[in-house]
Chain A
């Protein structure tokens, strides 16, 4: 039971590195971007995990609930904005890939590098 409390952190580590693997090992640019999304999602999970308090509830102080235990709102705020910023950067990356595809005719790193060498 004691180790079950660390399971979230282990999943964070694994997800982080699955995303990182896609970024470094995959040569397809869209796949790299997906890896980046997974990497981000892992960080989201880490922050939200740290804000959790056992027996707690979402930090919305309604009437009659003033005495409840609330989870930490601060990590949630940071991640809420990070998600929207994440989609913006993903969109920017996709825009760049669309342009690369138009110029090189491929979205694969190897093909792009080969065209550049010629």
Chain B
């Protein structure tokens, strides 16, 4: 039954993807992309990846849709030309699909316990995590502790992307200096006049933020962690900006505070790593952070997850405001 449900969802996924590519109106395509992400998240739940599903739902269906719409507000929403050389592209694409499908006949079947990928390092993490780190969620343990270097790198990639967007959007004719930005932000009153959306939005926001904090601090025990929490909290503030207008959102959480979150999170992560060296072990070795090595691991993971959450939340909100505070000039 579950298999059939999976097949059904995957088929829907392909149909939605085709619709995304075919839609000529870009806002329609963005909405379809949001649906695509939600379907993908449900698929991830079926494939036992609860953490990934939560991330995909918050980031793919939520934040990504808002960012696309924010950018589309600054440009033409219609696609004016068809595909260039569609037949050549189709031939390439179809033959590539056939090659990959041919290659899959050698793949182990879905869920096959004998598959090589399930029999190398994976079981080691499942077996040793209760002993070394002692937190129930193995995904968080691997993310925060065993592969802490990777995660540090990802946090800095997110941080760099945020800097890049701010750098790009702080220049050019559409950019506002501080005084102008305030005027633009005040003009964008969001959905303040839409009573129904306004009331419902105000009711929902506290719970979105609360759920974000729960996901942040419960990430060791259930699905969740810094990446998901950062995206959820950012989504809460974006919702506030949408229904109350830019200016009030910037008053609630000003740009300076967001800068602090962006930089502070990445620094917190780095400092926890350096603390490992200063206490006589390696970079990002948490075992020395406390008397009891297992407690040190827990402490380290909680601290770096907080850093991840801060940076992700700060960067996503800064990016959102960078798009939202801009004026369309052509």
- Residue numbers of A with Cβ under 8 A of B are 2, 4-22, 24-28, 30-31, 34-35, 37-38, 41, 44-45, 48-62, 66, 69-81, 83-92, 94-99, 101-103, 105-110
A84 touches B126 (CB 8 A): no
Interface locus among B48-56, B181-189, B198-206, B298-306? B48-56
Contact status of A45 and B43, CB under 8 A, knowing A14-B97, A76-B52 = yes
Interface locus among B6-14, B248-256, B268-276, B284-292? B6-14
- Residue numbers of B with Cβ under 8 A of A are 3, 6-7, 10-11, 13-14, 17-18, 20-21, 26, 29-30, 33, 36-37, 40, 43-44, 47-52, 55-56, 59-60, 63-64, 67-68, 70-72, 74-76, 79-81, 83-86, 89-90, 92-94, 96-97, 100-101, 104-105, 107, 109-113, 115, 117-118, 121-122, 125-126, 129-130, 136-139, 142-143, 147, 150-151, 154, 157-158, 161-162, 164-165, 168-169, 171-174, 221-223, 225, 227, 230-231, 312, 315-316, 319, 322-323, 326, 329-330
A88 to B158, CA, bound (A): 6
Name the residue in A62, A85, A105 with the highest tally of chain B Cβ atoms < 10 Å from its Cβ.
A85
Contact status of A56 and B21, CB under 8 A, knowing A27-B81, A73-B138, A90-B67 = no
Chain B minimum-CB-distance residue to A28: B79
B3 touches A4 (CB 8 A): yes
Query: Distance in Å from the Cβ of B216 to the closest Cβ of chain A?
Result: 14
A58 to B221, CA, bound (A): 12
**Number of A-B residue pairs with CB-CB distance less than 8 Å in the complex they form:** 311
Complex contacts, B85 vs chain A, CB 8 Å: 25
Complex contacts, A108 vs chain B, CB 8 Å: 79-81
Complex contacts, A74 vs chain B, CB 8 Å: 121-122, 125, 142
B26 touches A28 (CB 8 A): yes
Query: Which residue of B104, B109, B312 is within 8 Å of A84 (Cβ)?
Result: B312
Name the residue in B6, B60, B75, B319 with the highest tally of chain A Cβ atoms < 10 Å from its Cβ.
B75
Chain B minimum-CB-distance residue to A10: B101
Top 4 nearest A-B pairs (CB, nearest first) are A5-B109, A54-B111, A88-B161, A72-B122
Can you list 23 A-B contacts (CB < 8 A)?
A: A6-B105, A6-B110, A9-B100, A13-B104, A14-B97, A15-B13, A22-B21, A25-B90, A50-B115, A51-B47, A51-B49, A52-B47, A53-B115, A60-B139, A73-B139, A77-B143, A80-B225, A84-B154, A88-B162, A89-B161, A95-B165, A107-B75, A108-B79
